[in-house]
Structure 1
C-alpha cells in the first residue's frame, strides 16, 4: 500500500512552511507536537486534517469543501485584507513494490509497458486552496508523478500522454485512483467534539452548528458500516416526512408513534445501537484492557415540533438499571466515548489511518491521561500512525521523543519580558524536531518544559526495606542507573535522586522515620564537602552514611559525578544530540534520562571507561550495605 512519508504545510493561517515527518526521522508511529498555549499546535493539526484523504466529517468543522464557510480563516493572518496566492497541504508518498507491480500489470492489460523505475521516486499529493484578493476561487487536489511507457515494438520509454477520447483507458487517472484509494486516510479528532449535543438533528439546516454536522456525518458513517445501502436521509428522514404528508393532520406524530410505519425506523436505530455498543465497549476492553460498568449504548429518535418537525437522534448509556444521556455524563466519560466512537467508525476498516488528536484528554486527571497515552501505542500499530499535540508532561512518552516536535509562535516570546503576546510581531508557527531544538536552543527550556518534567520525574521508591543510595541530582541518578543496568550484578541498593547537594533533608527525615538503611553520595567539590558536614551535624548521621567521591577513590578527589563520564562519553552525547558545541550539564541530564527511558544499551550511551568508574562507585556502596546487614 502507498505510504505517506511527510506533510508539508504552506501559508495556512500562521504557518509559512512547516514539515512534519512520519517515516523519515524515526521508526516511531507516534508523533508528538509539544508547545505552550497559542504556540500553533492546533493550526498544524487543522492543516493536516485538510489533506486529500482527510475525513469529511471532521473537514466539515472547518473551512473547506464540506463546510459552508468562505475559506477566509485559512488565509495567513497578517494577509487577510488582500491575499492572492495558495494555501496548500502536501504529502510525500512512497509506492511499495506491491503497488508498482500492480500498476505495471494494469498497464500491460491495456497494451502498455510501464517503466517501474520512475515510480520508485516520491509521488506528491497536494490539497490546494487558491485565493484572489482574499476570496476563495478554487479548491483542487494536485498529483505529481511521472509515468513513462512503451507501446508495441517501441524500444524507448516515453512520457505518458493522456488519451484524447473520454472513453479510453487513462493510465494516469488509474494510478492516481489506486494511490488515493489505498493511501492512509487522515482522521482528526478536535477536543471540542466531546461536547456532544443532547440532540443530533438529522437534516442539514440554516443554523446548523459544525458539531451537529460532524455527528450527523458520523451517524451516516455508522449506517454505512452496517449496510452501504442505508442512509439517514432515505431510511429515517424521508420515512418520517412521507408519513407526515400522508396524514395531513396536526396529530400526525402521535399516529406515527403508534403506527406499524414506526417499526422500520426503530429497526434502523436498533442496528445503530448494536453497532455502537459492540464497537465502543469492545474497543474499551481492547484498548484499556479493563471492564466498564456500562452494559449497552442506545440511540433513540424523536421529532422537534418547534423546529419544523425536524428529526433528531439521542445517545444514552445504561448500566443495566438506569439510562443516562451521554451529554450528562462526566467530562472523562464523554471524552473517551467520543474518542472510541471516532476511532471505531471514522475510518474505512481496510485502510491504514493517521489519527490526529488535538490536546487529547487535556482537562482530565493524570491517570486518565496516562491510560490514553498507553492506548496510543496500541492504536498506532499495524501501519496506523498517531499525531497528537500536548503541553502536559503526563502525555509525554520518552520513547517517542525521537519523533517529537517543539512548536513555537514567533509572535510570542515566553522567555522574554513580553510573555503575554502584547507586541506586534507577525504570527509565524514553526515546528522543530525535539533533538534539533534542544541542540540549538538549550537555554529556551520553557518551550519543552513538559519533556523536562517528564524526564526529571522519578517515581518515589521509598516504601520497603531499602537500602537506599541518595544522590545529589537527576543527572547523577540516571548515570548510575545506566551503569547499574550495564552488568548482571545484583546490587543490594535502590537509587534515589535528591534535589541538590544540601537539599536532601526531607528524604533523610523520611528514611530515618522508616528506620531504613541508607547512604548519601555527594560530589567531592566544595559544596559537596560542605553538605557532608551539614548532614552529619544536623541529622547526627554516621561517617559511613555520608560519602563524597574522593572517599571512594582518591583519583576522584575534587570531582563531581558528571566528571566520571569522561570526554569520550561527552563526545558521544554531543554526536547524539547533533550539537556542534560541548553539551551543557542540562543537556547531558536530558540525554541520559531519555536513553534510560528507552532502555538503550549502556555502551550506546557512555564509554566503557565511564561505566567502569560508575560501577566502582556502585560496588563501594553495595559492599557497605552488605557489610551492614
Structure 2
C-alpha cells in the first residue's frame, strides 16, 4: 500500500488543498518549496496529524477565524493497494466468514473534528469515515448475491477496517529536526526502587532510544529482542549469556558502522577508514538502571557522539532514525517520512550530500520534505515538487497596518509544473523555483556552466545519456524554443558560461536567429541548432537522436513487453530510468548521435 493523495481542510491556514503523490513517472521523493512562513510546516503537520492525532486541537483553528470558528477540520488520505494487500484483506475477511468478491484497489479515510464557538465539539473526539470496497457474501450464504459488508455486519466491517488501518496502512513519521542529543547512556530498563512492588525493573519502551536499539536489532534479521537477548542475559550473569551479549553488540556495532560511515563516506567522499560505531562489549548498570553506551571510534580514540562536529551529529542522527526505522518489526511497508527543513543549519555541501542520502532512504519508504534552500532542490525530482505559498503574505509589504492586522492566512499548495504553467513570464523551466526562493547567486558562488535545451524532455534525454556515460555536463531545460530570453540574460549578467542547443526544425532556426539578433555579438558561438552540430541532423529534434528501436525498447523496459511506443510513454519511461539510475543498452547509432552533440558542447565550452 502507498499513499497517493492527502486532502487538508481548515487546518491552520490551509483552507482546502490537495497533495497528490500519484505521479507519472512514479516518484518516491516529494519536495515542498517555499519561503519562510509560507506554510510548509503546516502541510507536514497536517499529514502527520492524519495518522498520529491532533496534539493541540485549539491551536489548529485558522488564525483569522479564532474569534468564532464554527466549521470542521478535515484530514483525508487516499491509499492505493497492491495485490498482496488485497490478498491479506481477503484472507482476513474469509477467516471471519465473509468472501470478498470485488477488487478493493484503493481506500480513503477522512478524519473530521467539528468546532462550535471555537471549541471542539463532542469532547474533541475525531470522527473517521471510510471509502472502501468491501463487497461480497457470507461464506455460509446459499445466495451468492454481492452485498456491502457494512450493511450486513457492521461489527465485522469495523473489525476489518481496524485491521487495514493498523496492519496495512503505511506509518507516517514526522521529523522536525535531527539535532538530537544522543545520550551517553541509552537505558534498556530502569530499576524499580520500590522494593515492595514487582517487577524489579521496567523496560524503557517509551523512550525513542530504546526503540532505536530494537530497530537496530530488527535490522539484523535474527528475531532479536532487547529484553530477551540483552537485558535478561545480563541479569542471568552466566558466562555463556554474557558472551552472547558480546556477539549481539558486535553485530549491532558493525551494522550501524556500515549504515552510517559507509553511507556517509560514499556520498561525501570522506575517508572513513578506521572509523566505526561501538556499543561496547556488554550491558552496563548504574543506580538508575541498565544501559548501553553508543560511541564513535576513530583509530585508537573513542568519542561520545556529542563530542563530534555539528554536521556529523546531524547526519549520524538522520541515518540512525531513518535507515533503521524502516526495519521496525510489524510495520507495514512504504513508511512515509516527513522531513521539515532538513539540514537547514548545515553548509551547502552538507545539504547537497543530503540529496544523495534521500535517494538511499526510499528503497522501502517515501519521503516528503520541505525546504527554502536551492541546494536542496534536485532536478530529478521536479515531477514531485510542490510550491507552497501563503497568499496573505507579501514579503515586500512594510506597512504598519499590515503588520498590526490579523491576516487571513491562506496557504496554497500547487504542483510545480502547474505553477510554472501559470507563470508564462517566468519562461525557463526552473525559474519558478528560483523565484519562489528569491534566489540570487553571490559573486563567490560556483554557478555551473550549462547547456540550455528546449524543454524538460530534452533535458531528461541529454541528462540520462550523460549519466550513463559520465559526460560531466549540466543541462538546463527551458519551456520551449522561444522561452530562453530570461535565462540567457541571467547567465550573461552573471558572467557564467553557457551554450544553447535547439532542435533543427523551423521553430529552432527561427528562435536561433532571433536570439542572435536580440543579444548581438556577445552570444556568437553560443546559440546552435542540432544541424550546426552535424549536417546529418537536418530537421532533427532531440527525440530523433534516439533510434525508433531504442525508443520502443525504453517503453517496453518500463511498461512491459506488450507496451507499444507512444511519445508520452517514452518520455515518462526515460524520466523514470534517469530518476532511478537504471541502465538501458542503447544502440551504437543512438550513442554515436548523443556523443556528437556532447563533444560539440564540450568543444564550444572549452572543456
User: What is the CA deviation profile of residues 526-548 of structure 1, one whole-angstrom value per residue up to 9, with x for unaligned ones?
Assistant: 6544658xxxxxxxxxxxx8799
User: Per the alignment, in what secondary structure is the counterpart of residue 275 of structure 2?
Assistant: coil
Residues of 2 paired with 1:495 and 1:428: CA distance? Answer: 37
Unaligned runs of 5+ in 1: 65-69, 205-212, 240-258, 462-470, 509-520, 533-544, 554-563, 566-591, 601-614
Measure, in 1, the Cα distance between the counterparts of 2:299 and 2:520.
67
- Which residue, 366, 380, 398 being the options, matches 2:379? 398
Q: Distance in 2 between matches of 1:336 and 1:487?
A: 31
The change in CA–CA distance for 1:19 and 1:26 in structure 2 (over 3 A counts) is farther
SS of the residue 2:17 aligns to:
strand
**Residue 413 of structure 1 aligns to a residue in which SS?**
coil
C-alpha distance in 2, partners of 1:410/1:395?
A: 24
SS in 1 for 2:125: strand
Q: Which of 149, 158, 167 in structure 2 is aligned with 1:160?
A: 149
Aligned to 2:137, the other structure's residue is in SS state strand
Whether the aligned pair in 1 keeps the contact of 2:18 and 2:413 (CA below 8 Å) is: yes
Structure 1 distance, partners of 2:400, 2:473, is: 42
Deviations 1:146-184 (Å, cap 9, x if unpaired)? 433324221422222578898xxx254135404531222
Give 1:310 shift. 8.6
1:316–1:325 CA contact under 8 A, matched in 2? yes
In the other structure, the counterpart of 2:366 is 385
User: Does the alignment pair 1:184 with 2:170?
Assistant: yes
Is 1:318 the counterpart of 2:300? The answer is: no
Q: 1:81 to 1:450 in 2, by over 3 A?
A: closer
Structure 1 segment 32-47 matched on structure 2, within 5 A:
32-47=31-46
Q: Which moves more between the two structures, 143-152 or 401-410?
A: 143-152
Which residue does the alignment assign to 1:341? Answer: 320
Mark the CA change 1:356 to 1:179 in structure 2 (over 3 Å): closer, same or farther: same
Q: Offset of 1:388 from its aligned partner?
A: 0.9
Distance 1:434 1:506, change over 3 A: closer
Q: Compute the displacement of 1:260 (Å).
A: 9.2
**Structure 1 residue 406 displacement after superposition:** 0.1
Write the deviation string for residues 80-106 of structure 1: whole angstroms up to 9, x where unpaired: 455455434321122333333443444
2:207 matches 1:216: yes
Measure, in 2, the Cα distance between the counterparts of 1:303 and 1:420.
60
User: In structure 2, the residue corresponding to 1:7 is in which secondary structure?
Assistant: strand
Question: Quick check: 2:23–2:384 contact (8 Å CA) kept in 1?
Answer: no
- Say if 2:130 is the partner of 1:143: yes
Q: 2 CA distance for matches of 1:487 and 1:264? A: 57
Return the offset for 1:446. 7.0
Contact in 2 for aligned 1:33/1:407 (Cα 8 Å): yes
- Decide which moves more: 280-289 or 353-362: 280-289
- Point out the more displaced range, 412-421 or 331-340: 412-421
Q: Which moved further from structure 2: 324-333 or 108-117?
A: 108-117
Instruction: Give the whole-Å Cα distance in 1 for the aligned partners of 2:459 and 2:82.
Output: 42
Bigger shift: residues 156-165 or 397-406 = 156-165
2:414 aligned with 1:425, yes or no? no
What residue is the counterpart of 1:95 in the other structure?
A: 81
Asked if the contact 2:169/2:332 (under 8 Å) is kept, the reply is yes
* Whole-Å separation in 2 of the counterparts to 1:388 and 1:443: 28
- Aligned: 1:134 with 2:116: no
Deviations along 1:60-117, one digit per CA (max 9) or x if unpaired, are: xxx53xxxxx533333333345545543432112233333344344444454332214
SS class of match (1:220): helix
Residues 332, 420 of structure 1: alpha-carbon distance in 2 compared, 3 angstrom cutoff: farther
Query: Match of 1:73, SS?
Result: coil
- Counterpart of 1:375 in structure 2 is 357
- Paired with 1:418 and 1:504, the residues of 2 have a C-alpha distance of 33
Q: Could you tell me how far 1:45 is from its partner in structure 2?
A: 1.2
Counterparts of 2:393 and 2:129, CA distance in 1? 34
Q: Secondary structure at the match of 1:351?
A: coil
Equivalent positions of 1:573-612 (< 5 A) are: none
In structure 2, do the counterparts of structure 1 residues 450 and 178 end up closer, same or farther at CA, with 3 Å as the change threshold?
A: same
How many corresponding residue pairs? 481
In the alignment, the residues of structure 2 paired with residue 440 and residue 371 of structure 1 have an alpha-carbon distance, to the nearest angstrom, of 32
- How far apart are residue 487 of structure 1 and its match? 12
Describe the superposition over 1:172-199 as per-residue Cα deviations: whole angstroms up to 9, x where unpaired.
4135404531222112222154354667
SS of the residue 2:124 aligns to: strand
1:282 matched to 2:266: no
Instruction: Tell me how far 1:404 sits from its aligned partner.
Output: 0.7
CA distance in 2, matches of 1:429, 1:346: 31
User: Quick one: structure 1 residues 107 and 475, their matched pair in 2 at CA, closer, same or farther if it must change by over 3 Å?
Assistant: closer
Moved more, 10-19 or 415-424: 415-424
CA distance in 1, matches of 2:119, 2:264: 47
How far does residue 200 in structure 1 lie from its aligned partner after superposition? Answer: 6.8
C-alpha distance in 2 between matches for 1:24 and 1:318: 44
Cα deviation, residue 365, structure 1: 2.0
Q: Write the distance in 2 (CA, Å) between the matches of 1:549 and 1:161.
A: 65
Structure 2 residues not aligned, in runs of 5+: 192-203, 218-222, 477-486, 498-511, 533-539, 542-570, 580-593
Contact 1:40 1:429 in 2 (8 A): yes
Asked whether the equivalents of residues 186 and 209 of structure 2 are also in contact (C-alpha less than 8 Å), the reply is no
Q: Is the 8 A contact 1:84 1:131 kept in 2?
A: yes
Cα distance in 2 for partners of 1:495, 1:161 equals 56
**Mapped partners of 2:446, 2:264: distance in 1:** 24
SS in 2 for 1:194: coil
Decide whether the 8 Å contact of 1:414 with 1:446 is kept in 2. Answer: no
Partner of 1:511: none
Task: Quote the Cα distance in structure 1 between the aligned partners of 2:132 and 2:353.
Answer: 42
Q: Decide whether aligned partners of structure 1 residues 317 and 171 sit closer, same or farther in structure 2, where only a CA change above 3 A counts.
A: same
Rg larger in structure? 1
RMSD: 5.6
**Would you say 1:365 and 2:344 are equivalent positions?**
no
**Distance in 1, Cα, partners of 2:392 & 2:437:** 23
Does residue 123 in structure 1 map to residue 107 in structure 2?
yes
Whole-Å Cα distance in 2 between the matches of residues 215 and 102 of structure 1?
Answer: 30
TM-score between both structures, scaled by the size of structure 2: 0.62
Q: Residues 225 and 81 (structure 1 numbering): CA distance in 2 closer, same or farther, change over 3 Å?
A: farther
